[in-house]
Amino acid sequence: MAILVQKFGGTSVADAARMRRAAQRIINAVKAGNSVVVVASARGHQTDHLVADALELNPNPPKREMDQLLSTGEVQSVSLLAIALAAMGYDAISMTGSQIRMVTDSVHTKARIKSIDAERIHKHLNEGKIVIVAGFQGIDEFDNITTLGRGGSDTTAVAIAAALGAKECEIYTDVDGIYTTDPRIFKKAVKMTQISYDEMLELASLGAGVMHSRSIEFGKKYDVRIHVRSSKDEIEGTIITHEVPQMEGIVVSGATIQKDLAKITMVGVDNIPGNAAKIFAHLAKAKVIVNDIIQTEVSPEKANLSFMVAISDLDSTREATASIKKEVNCQDIFIREDIAEVSIVGVGMRSHYGVAEKMFGALAEAKVNIDSITTSEIRISCAVDEDQAEKALEAVCFAFELDRPANLRKY
Ligand code: ADP
Ligand code: ASP
Ligand code: MG
């Protein structure tokens, strides 16, 4: 029997009516002849509420305890879903991350999956059960509960699909697919029928909260087709898959805005071999994920080094850079928290010229100042003032006609 993995996000299991609707989707997949594994997120805003409860007691809660606490949201969802399915006459078993031996590293609040014991899931599927797994959580080698980072249930689902050899993973959410940009910010965004793993990985890493970026890495590596669709309507969503030749024809597939960032500039670092290595060794030791590194030589003796980090890593970054400041003879450290990044992504950029010019021109026309620019083969990102971010996104979306389906764009 084919194995299908279905993931239901927080909104899709938020109350009893939506739980029943999710349960009906699962039953439909069973009736269609699939062995079904379900991954569920915490209900509604449960994770946010748990975070708030912890912060009320301690502004700097121990990360291990945060994981222990946040994992309970998903545990409630999976048992309730199994209870709902039982009421509808179906045999389901709920499992926590530790019960399926979803082993991760020990980096609390942003752990990475190392292995999954697929046999534990197969055993229950072979008994004819629907297996419902708590998303977002795992266990480290010392039996501590870990979590995969906000939005991590997507990664649980795709990783399980990969471990079970499932060909498809359905992601049921509150939008009916992947749009050219976040439809909550740019109302005219349009839905895509398909998008490549590489583009989706860039979009997800650059702030498109619709998918957890690690899930796309698993999908690409283990060849899992990901179908992002609405838990409300039956209509087809967006397929995330390998690149096909016609994707090259679309110059810009999507745009994003990322706000929870800080930009660090280390001014006047001694321009000698080894200093950048020393700085980033300190950041790595503090488990900080660094993006958009720019180093500029300002004189034969001195260089400026800047990079972006997530706001959640800012305290660790402050400590790490302060502790290395003297050793690399850095004159000053500037930190900007009022910064956002607007990015465009598309595999077609590899073979089209004039894309950067068009983006910068659109921002100039909208009177948005560009703080810094970073690029990869398939993306261009501009750091801008946070209070201009929405305006910048809108300007860029209109410039690349992201308010129209790809086949109707002139560009
Ligand atoms: P879930 O709880 O189901 O995991 P999320 O809130 O994590 O749902 O993701 C869905 C949300 O992602 C949408 O409501 C939408 O506002 C946001 N989003 C951001 N970028 C995009 C995009 N490019 N396409 C679709 N949705 C997007
Ligand atoms: N419940 C977690 C969160 O809100 C994980 C998820 O929903 O994917 O981030
Ligand atoms: Mg999500």
C-alpha closest to that of 226 among 177, 279, 175: 177
pLDDT of residue 46: 98
Closest ligand 2 atom to the C-alpha of 74?
1
55 CA → ligand 1 middle, Å: 25
State the closest ligand 1 atom to the C-alpha of 172, by its place in the atom list counted from 1: 3
Residue 167 has a pLDDT of 79
Element at 399 (helix H, strand E): helix 389-399
CB atoms closer than 10 angstroms to residue 76: 16
pLDDT value of residue 10: 98
Quickly tell me which residue has 């971010």 as its tokens.
Answer: 389
Closest ligand 2 atom to 9 CA = 7
Distance between CA atoms of residues 296 and 354, nearest Å: 25
Confidence (pLDDT) at 402: 97
Contacts of 215 (CB under 8 A, 6+ apart): 154, 155, 157, 158, 159, 204, 226
Q: Which regions of the chain are under pLDDT 50? A: none
pLDDT at 248: 84
**Tens-digit pLDDT profile for residues 131-183:** 999 999 999 999 999 999 999 999 999 999 999 999 799 999 999 999 999 99
pTM exceeding 0.85: yes
**pLDDT by residue (tens digit) across 242-285?**
998 888 889 999 999 999 999 999 999 999 999 999 999 999 99
**CA 368 to ligand 3 center in whole angstroms:** 30
| Residue owning the nearest CA to atom 6 of ligand 2 | 151
Q: How many CA atoms does the CB half-sphere of 124 hold within 13 Å?
A: 20
End-to-end, the C-alpha distance of the chain in Å comes to: 45
What distance in angstroms lies between residue 208's CA and the mean position of ligand 1's atoms?
7
Q: 3-state SS of the chain: helix, strand, coil percent to 5?
A: 40, 25, 35
Q: Please choose from 70, 212, 213 the residue to mutate so as to test ligand 2's pocket, defined by most ligand atoms within 8 A of CB.
A: 70
Q: Tell the burial category of 292 from Cβ atoms under 10 Å away from its Cβ (0-12, 13-18, 19+).
A: middle
